[in-house]
Amino acid sequence: MAGAARPEPVGHEGGVPLAYYAAPGRPLERCATREEIVRRLRSGRGQLWVDIDSRSDAEWSLLEDPFGFHPLAIEDTRSPESRVKVEEYQDYLFIVARSVRFAMWTPAPYDIALFNTYLFLGRNYLVTVRGEESPAVVAVVARLEGAPELMSRGVDHVAYMLLDALVDSYFPLLDEIDTFVDELETAIFREPGADTMERIFALKRSLLSLRRHLAPMREVTATLANRPSTYLTPDTQVYFRDVHDHVVRQVESVETFRDMVSAAMEAYLTTVSNRTNEVIKALSVIATVVLPPTLVASIYGMNFGWMPGLHHPLGFWLALASMVAISGAFLLYLWWKGWL
């Protein structure tokens, strides 16, 4: 029914959010109307997952009624800058997760676009809120449609599947960066272009931004994996450990990339200095070899009536020989100093 490439929204017609309900011993069913969602929620039995697109005011209003979440949490779901976190309210956990938008690095190679997904996890319901199409939600829907029995593990397992998909969105980006960092070495030591420094700097910026977004994700997954909670069964927490492992590996990658980019910056500066040194050495060699003979030639270009050897038949050759001798002496000296 839903595939990763499908662009149009899943469900969500007429202010009715996508909603799945699983009662014990009954097949997974899809709730088609708001009334059905409210009824299922109020029954207090079974497992209910509601996915709300916050761009639709009709859907968004469900957060206040019938769910009645805290005003501050509801406010957070509309602010794209909400901090990544887990907060415990009286009847539910509130989770803000951040992920990378699909196909985001096409125009500006290392510019990162991020978006938030919000989860309200109660005892028998999960409400997810997002402000744009979410490939992660599409993927979870596809898995649920294919294996409806997953829902009976509880809504916390659905939350796990969603966070797992969100976190995995970082891997392609990190692989991209890994490739670029590998290219950097060639760029620096073999064929530095005019924009090498600019690209290093742009990469550093992206890594700083990435770290800033990933670091709190690590705390969120650590909390979900380790802290005992009414809303998470120990079985599901084992799965969250897996998500936490992924985030930890991502954070470590970013840290290592940062250190490598810093080292690359330093190496580039040193390489430039090295090249300047070479150029200036070449300039010095030219000057040392050419200027002294020019002085000798200028001397013999003076208009004095008499200069030593001026009228000697071999005068020209002797002057030339002295020029060669002087240049040769300087060349020897430079060779001895190790500049050649």
- Cβ atoms 303, 268 nearer than 8 A: no
81 Cα distance to chain centroid:
17
Coil vs helix vs strand at 18:
strand
Residue with Cβ nearer its own copies (62 or 243): 243
43 binds its own copies (CB under 8 A): no
For residue 120, which phi and psi values (nearest 5 degrees)?
-110, 115
**Amino acid letter, residue 261:** V
Tell whether residue 279 is a contact of its own copies (CB under 8 A).
yes
105 is an interface residue for its own copies by CB under 8 A: no
Integer angstrom CA distances of residue 297 from 30, 307, 319, 322: 99, 12, 8, 10
How far apart are alpha carbons 312 and 16 in whole angstroms?
A: 111
Stretch that binds its own copies, among 2-10, 51-59, 113-121, 292-300 (CB under 8 A): 292-300
For the chain, the straight-line distance linking the first and the last C-alpha, in angstroms and rounded, comes to 73
Does position 269 bind its own copies by CB under 8 A? yes
C-beta pairs of 143-147 under 8 Å, 24+ apart in sequence: 144/20, 144/28, 145/1, 145/2
332 binds its own copies (CB under 8 A): no
Q: How far is the CB of 7 from its own copies (least distance, A)?
A: 31
Toward its own copies, which CB reaches closer, 25 or 228? 228
- HSE-CB for 282 with a 13 A CA cutoff: 5
DSSP symbol at 100? E
For residue 166, give the amino acid letter.
L
Residue with smaller CB distance to its own copies, 12 or 213: 213
Q: How many residues bind its own copies (CB under 8 A)?
A: 85
Region from 12-20, 26-34, 84-92, 114-122 binding its own copies, contact rule CB under 8 A: 84-92
Stretch of 118-126, 142-150, 151-159, 198-206 lying at the interface with its own copies (CB under 8 A): 198-206
Kindly state whether residue 321 participates in binding its own copies, applying the rule CB under 8 A: no
Which x/- pattern over 221-240 shows residues binding its own copies (rule: CB under 8 A)? -----------------xx-
- Closest approach of Cβ 185 to its own copies, in Å? 7
Out of 108, 275, 328, 332, the residue judged to bind its own copies by CB under 8 A: 275
